[in-house]
Structure 1
Amino acid sequence: MRDMDNQTRIFEFILLGLSEQPLQQQVFFGLSLSLYLIGCMGNLLSILAILLDPHLHSPMYFFLSNLSLLDICFASTIIPKMLVNHLCGHSTISSKACLTQMYFFITFEAADSILLSTMAYDRYLAICCPLRYITIMSVLRCALLVAVPWISANLISMVHTILMTRLSFCTNRIPHFFCDLNALIKLSCSNTQVNEMLVLVFGGSVVLIPFVCIMASYTPIAMAVWKVPSAQGKWKAFSTCSSHLCVVALFYGTIIGVYFNPASTHTTQKDIATTVMYTMVSPMLNPFIYSLRNRDLKEALWKLLKGNHLAKPL
């Protein structure tokens, strides 16, 4: 019995990464580094532009700056460790570091999902209840709507992490480039029924409930935009939501592709490719989607890059 315990007590894991081919590893390293740097720079510039431009001190941009912060944290949980492992020529991660990475990954992923529904609610109020918008979206209400995703996500992540510490593992080789919750569960020799059930319960809640809330917010928005008499007015109303819709489609499309497809369609390569989309590509694209489709943010970014961030409002 003691020998069996020694075999299942694992102190470090081996991350198999994006590929085992040396040439492909070099390509993926360069691609991952580029996406990470571009994403961090784009999100950081968005946060600075919103903070420094008085025109952008509104609820919509407050939520957008929090989304940019989440994207930076989300990518930083995974990519730096992967890059360091490649440079150092090893692919190991201690069990404590693995659980820590898993904890923050779940936290930022869940908070991202909930915050997207908060942003949809904000757009609903701005378009469907414009006269009461300022009154409803007070500073306290905005702070509360940002605090809820962070608190909820941390509680969910804590439950998953505590349950994971109770498992023993048959092998320490993780067929992924980070400590993914589902990948770790598959490696366990223990009874994982509770873990798997909570993955479905919490995962379904964190993805499906915000997604339904987003659809519920945009249904009256679409009806309100349709009633606008002029084509220019319709386009102006829709343009305030189009960038958010693009981000929602990108985020939920990749999440559903990984976690809500039939098990028979899953392959390691397919799951990794889809995971790369929402862990690397999505955080990199988000600031560009918002800046390219939002004139006010585009102007604020241009002022920031030119050094005119101290310009006073008209």
Structure 2
Amino acid sequence: MEKWNHTSNDFILLGLLPPNQTGIFLLCLIILIFLLASVGNSAMIHLIHVDPRLHTPMYFLLSQLSLMDLMCISTTVPKMAYNFLSGQKGISLLGCGVQSFFFLTTAGSEGLLLTSMAYDRYVAICHPLHYPIRMSKRVCVKMIGGSWTMGSINYLARTVYALHIPYCRSRAIDHFCDVPAMLLLACMDTWVYEYMVFVSTSFFLLFPFLGITASYGRVLFAVYHMCSKEGRKKAFTTVSTHLTVVIFYYAPFVYTYLRPRNLRSPSKDKILAVFYTILTPMLNPIIYSLRNKEVLGAMTRVFGIFSFLRE
């Protein structure tokens, strides 16, 4: 590890896996999860595209969520697997910046998209008569475009700044290229940049989370006062599904990116990295499919499977 110092322009990615038999087993498990996530999210995108019954604003937003999850896991896992199998752990400064940019952009954009999905459920349940106007196709396109644009501009600026920081310490990164992990290797005081990261993270994670919580709080209040038991059950199922996805997404991100540097632990960061980079993209399509009769119905019509889950 000592040879990776200021004389090298590359970083070394230590990865999430130990270099032994346990690491090989975990790599096989991660590859399996990667395949499941890729197939699951690709299937969701395909279903929503080909089934006319899923051509609604909610599923239009869901297809973008699947696309973001697919891009997120594809940014980290293939490089991790290649490094482990080849033994070549090095990555250039530019390559590290590119990986960090795509990961942060998809992750940050997903946070804003989840806010849009919460607003969709709020309008559908609390203001159903206004739903066609408030959640028109044009509004959905603006929400999705805004999520991608704001996420890419913000994280492009952060990544470009990180690429211009002088690094003069050991260039070993514990898991994958991420701006907080890169800052630990800088040979200059980065408190100003860390403060900007904190503000940015609050905007992309904390404030949307508070907005989502307020929206679903209002939704649950409206659902509780519904007269129809069937409608109340369906609404609770939809809301609980969305809340599960929100918790899986926000909890590890908030804990990772809003902690002060002196409270960070490499071992905890590795565990959290596995959760929000690998597990969450696999869990999202499972959560939305197994708890959604409309999606299960689309799977039956398109693929001819899972009909027993609709009972």
TM > 0.5: yes
Structure 1 residue 51: deviation in Å? 0.6
Structure 1 residue 69: deviation in Å? 0.2
Correspondence for 1:248? 246
- Find 2:62's aligned residue among 57, 61, 64: 64
Greater Cα offset, 12-21 or 89-98? 12-21
> Does residue 284 of structure 1 match 2:297?
no
Correspondence for 2:220? 222
Correspondence for 2:81? 83
Query: Any gaps of 5 or more consecutive residues in structure 2?
Result: 306-311
Matches of 2:71 and 2:291 in 1, distance apart? 24
Give the partner amino acid of 2:103: F
Matches of 1:243 and 1:129 in 2, distance apart? 20
Cα gap change, 1:69 to 1:224, in 2 (>3 Å): same
Q: CA deviation digits over 1:152-183, x for unaligned, max 9?
A: 00111111112112211123533322101111
Greater Cα offset, 79-88 or 68-77? 79-88
Whether contact under 8 Å (1:10, 1:95) holds in the other structure is no
Alignment of 1:14-163 (within 5 A): 14-163=12-161
Whether contact under 8 Å (2:69, 2:281) holds in the other structure is yes
Whether contact under 8 Å (1:43, 1:68) holds in the other structure is yes
Greater Cα offset, 182-191 or 258-267? 258-267
Q: What is the number of equivalent residue pairs in this alignment?
A: 301
Matches of 1:160 and 1:10 in 2, distance apart? 23
> Does residue 213 of structure 1 match 2:211?
yes
Whether contact under 8 Å (1:225, 1:237) holds in the other structure is yes
Give the partner amino acid of 2:39: M
SS of residue in 1 equivalent to 2:30: helix
SS of residue in 2 equivalent to 1:229: coil
Matches of 2:274 and 2:257 in 1, distance apart? 14
Matches of 1:165 and 1:9 in 2, distance apart? 16
Structure 1 residue 193: deviation in Å? 2.2
Query: Any gaps of 5 or more consecutive residues in structure 1?
Result: 1-6, 308-314
Give the partner amino acid of 1:208: L
Q: CA deviation digits over 1:97-154, x for unaligned, max 9?
A: 1110011111011001110001000000100111110122111111001011100001
Give the partner amino acid of 2:29: L
Correspondence for 1:3? none
Cα gap change, 1:13 to 1:172, in 2 (>3 Å): farther
Whether contact under 8 Å (2:61, 2:117) holds in the other structure is yes
Matches of 1:186 and 1:53 in 2, distance apart? 48
Whether contact under 8 Å (1:242, 1:293) holds in the other structure is no
Whether contact under 8 Å (1:14, 1:172) holds in the other structure is no
Whether contact under 8 Å (2:183, 2:190) holds in the other structure is yes
Give the partner amino acid of 1:66: Q
Give the partner amino acid of 1:150: W
Matches of 1:108 and 1:9 in 2, distance apart? 32
Correspondence for 1:311? none
Matches of 2:173 and 2:295 in 1, distance apart? 40
> Does residue 177 of structure 1 match 2:197?
no
Correspondence for 1:300? 298
Matches of 2:138 and 2:8 in 1, distance apart? 46
Give the partner amino acid of 2:45: I
SS of residue in 1 equivalent to 2:167: coil
Whether contact under 8 Å (2:10, 2:171) holds in the other structure is no
Cα gap change, 1:265 to 1:186, in 2 (>3 Å): closer
Matches of 2:8 and 2:105 in 1, distance apart? 24
Whether contact under 8 Å (2:93, 2:163) holds in the other structure is no
Structure 1 residue 263: deviation in Å? 4.8
Give the partner amino acid of 1:156: N
Give the partner amino acid of 2:20: P
SS of residue in 2 equivalent to 1:93: strand
Whether contact under 8 Å (1:10, 1:169) holds in the other structure is no
Q: CA deviation digits over 1:161-211, x for unaligned, max 9?
A: 121122111235333221011110000002312221111011111101110
SS of residue in 2 equivalent to 1:8: coil
Correspondence for 1:202? 200
Structure 1 residue 26: deviation in Å? 0.8
Matches of 1:172 and 1:265 in 2, distance apart? 21
